Amino acid sequence: MPRSQIEFYYGNVMADAIGPKHGITARQLQALAKRTSPLIAKLNEERRAGNTPYRDLPYSKETPQRVKKVVAELKDKCENFVVLGIGGSALGIIALQTALKPYMHNIYEKKRTGPRFFVFDNVDPSQFASFLHWIGNKLGKTVFNVISRGGQTAETISQFMIIRRLLSRRFGARSLRKHVVVTTCFNHNPLHRIATNAALPCLEIPAGVGGRFSVLTPVGLFSAAMCGIDIDSLLAGARDMDKKVSRKNFYKNPAAINAAINYHFYNRGKKISVMMPYSYALKDLADWYRQLWAESLGKAKNLKGRLVHIGPTPVRALGVTDQHSQVQLYREGPNDKLFTFLQVNSFDKDPKIGAAPRCAPEMAFLAGNNLSTLLNNEKKATEYALLQDRRPCLTVLFDKVDEYTVGQFIYLYEVTTSFAGALFKINPYNQPAVELGKQATFALKGKQGDYKPGYTYQEWAKEICSRTKIDKNFRV
């Protein structure tokens, strides 16, 4: 049986749909094809040379095997599964769970196919304390997955140190290995050292795969498999998309064409890119995309080191919810956005709308419809309204939301990001601005030693404090 697919639709960014002032003309599309086609060969070559290791993740045999082995060891003893991680070590994980587990997963005890699932990607004290209070007497059947590629992110390590103390006090230091799985790079970073010293089960993040490109490593696969998601199908979907995004023909390559369209609109004043799923299950994939796009493409310097301060601003919205919140701006505000809808053709469950009460006959037209037809009609209605105002709209069409299509989507957007990086002539794989904030946090928390030669963390902390202190003259 043919497997479910996703397709990329770009008819409604064309001049035929929204006019030549805002839309892409046939000639402009040809120019984009000319500019992007050599990049297809370049990216394929970079991949062959091993410079983009994220491209090969769906083909690993060892990774899913190792992940499943750890899952088999822990699953029966685990009623609560808790991820401690942030950024690329959290967003893909959350996206997979929201997409592929039922909405009521955590509280629908009878239907749960895996442990309850939580992610802490923040150090908000009230939130974490509330969780610690709840988990108190359930700790014995809880597994924590501590995820950090670099192994020294202050937020994740702080959470881990709270949990470590809790588990050690309750069950003894040796108990850690039954309750903690570490996912990190095996390069003797602090988290890796802690895991090795305490003999904790460890899953490896391959070298050269950045956080936001790591969802198809154990970062995303372990929690997914723990909660009953079919990771083989997820990886198969990514492999399927790999064939499409490697195609030499620009017009047949959805990643190349997607990146080129985004690049075109950025250069014509549409610097905001709104992703709007019409599916609650896909809402956190839009959040994952937001990080992927922002951290990869928001760069001060181009590949030649020239200052460019480039980067489209990704925004996530949710249909239909944000029709009642954002669409007023989207239609009548500045025409500075490119919209990407995610549309699902077939939903796994689809409640029917009941009859209208006699006192409200004017609502009878809704009766008998499934919610999916209402939802998808609302997508059409919003798209139509935007087109009327000459706003460009893309759509990613999902046959349905399952592991296979989600795997395709992830891979499509990762490779689209690589193409966009190449078009903007920036390095999409680093994040120097995020690193500075991480180091500044270390300084403020009292890290010892030199931040750079001749300049200690202590000195830097003083400078940071003086630049950020609240000056009472400006307080109102």
Residues marked active site are found at 295, 324, 438
Q: How far is the CB of 157 from ligand PA5 (least distance, A)?
A: 8
Question: Which of 98, 156, 382, 418: binder of ligand PA5 (CB under 6 A)?
Answer: 156
Residue closer to ligand PA5 by CB (options 175, 439) is: 439
Contact 265, 394 (CB under 8 A): no
Considering only the stretches 38-46, 206-214, 339-347, 420-428, report the one whose residues sit in contact with ligand PA5 under the rule CB under 6 A.
Answer: 206-214
Q: How far is the CB of 238 from ligand PA5 (least distance, A)?
A: 18
Considering only the stretches 6-14, 207-215, 375-383, 411-419, report the one whose residues sit in contact with ligand PA5 under the rule CB under 6 A.
Answer: 207-215
Task: Work out whether the CA dihedral 444, 445, 446, 450 comes out positive or negative.
Answer: negative
Residues 6+ apart with CB under 8 A from 341: 276, 277, 278, 319, 379, 382, 383, 393, 394, 395, 396
Question: Which of 166, 434, 440, 464: binder of ligand PA5 (CB under 6 A)?
Answer: 434
Q: How far is the CB of 17 from ligand PA5 (least distance, A)?
A: 35
Residue 294 interacts with ligand PA5 (CB under 6 A)?
A: no
Contact 181, 160 (CB under 8 A): no
Q: How far is the CB of 378 from ligand PA5 (least distance, A)?
A: 33
Q: How far is the CB of 94 from ligand PA5 (least distance, A)?
A: 13
What does the alpha-carbon distance between residue 420 and residue 124 come to, in Å, rounded to a whole number?
34
Closest CA to 232 of 403, 55, 406: 403
Q: How far is the CB of 295 from ligand PA5 (least distance, A)?
A: 5
Q: What is the total count of residues that contact ligand PA5 (CB under 6 A)? A: 15
Residue 182 pairs with which residues in a beta bridge? 146, 202
Most distant CA pair in the chain: distance in Å?
81
Task: Work out whether the CA dihedral 234, 318, 346, 228 comes out positive or negative.
Answer: positive
Residue closer to ligand PA5 by CB (options 403, 414) is: 414
Task: Work out whether the CA dihedral 285, 291, 296, 298 comes out positive or negative.
Answer: positive
Residue 400 CB-density burial (10 A; 0-12 exposed, 13-18 middle, 19+ buried): middle
The bridge status of strand 299-301 relative to strand 307-310 is antiparallel
Q: How far is the CB of 69 from ligand PA5 (least distance, A)?
A: 23
Residue 237 interacts with ligand PA5 (CB under 6 A)?
A: no
What does the alpha-carbon distance between residue 321 and residue 315 come to, in Å, rounded to a whole number?
14
Question: Which of 23, 211, 237, 298: binder of ligand PA5 (CB under 6 A)?
Answer: 211
Residue closer to ligand PA5 by CB (options 159, 343) is: 159
The residue with its CB nearest to ligand PA5 is 211
Q: Give, as ranges, the residues between 385 and 414 that touch ligand PA5 (CB under 6 A).
A: none
Residue 88 interacts with ligand PA5 (CB under 6 A)?
A: yes
What does the alpha-carbon distance between residue 461 and residue 476 come to, in Å, rounded to a whole number?
27
Residue 86 interacts with ligand PA5 (CB under 6 A)?
A: yes
Residue 210 interacts with ligand PA5 (CB under 6 A)?
A: yes
Residue closer to ligand PA5 by CB (options 74, 154) is: 154
Considering only the stretches 81-89, 158-166, 167-175, 261-269, report the one whose residues sit in contact with ligand PA5 under the rule CB under 6 A.
Answer: 81-89
Question: Which of 142, 153, 258, 418: binder of ligand PA5 (CB under 6 A)?
Answer: 153
Question: Which of 376, 431, 443, 461: binder of ligand PA5 (CB under 6 A)?
Answer: 431
Question: Which of 284, 295, 383, 403: binder of ligand PA5 (CB under 6 A)?
Answer: 295
Residue closer to ligand PA5 by CB (options 87, 114) is: 87
Q: Give, as ranges, the residues between 132 and 151 that touch ligand PA5 (CB under 6 A).
A: 148-150
Q: How far is the CB of 187 from ligand PA5 (least distance, A)?
A: 11
Considering only the stretches 170-178, 205-213, 265-273, 278-286, report the one whose residues sit in contact with ligand PA5 under the rule CB under 6 A.
Answer: 205-213
Residues that bind ligand PA5 (CB under 6 A): 86-89, 148-150, 153, 156, 210-212, 295, 431, 434
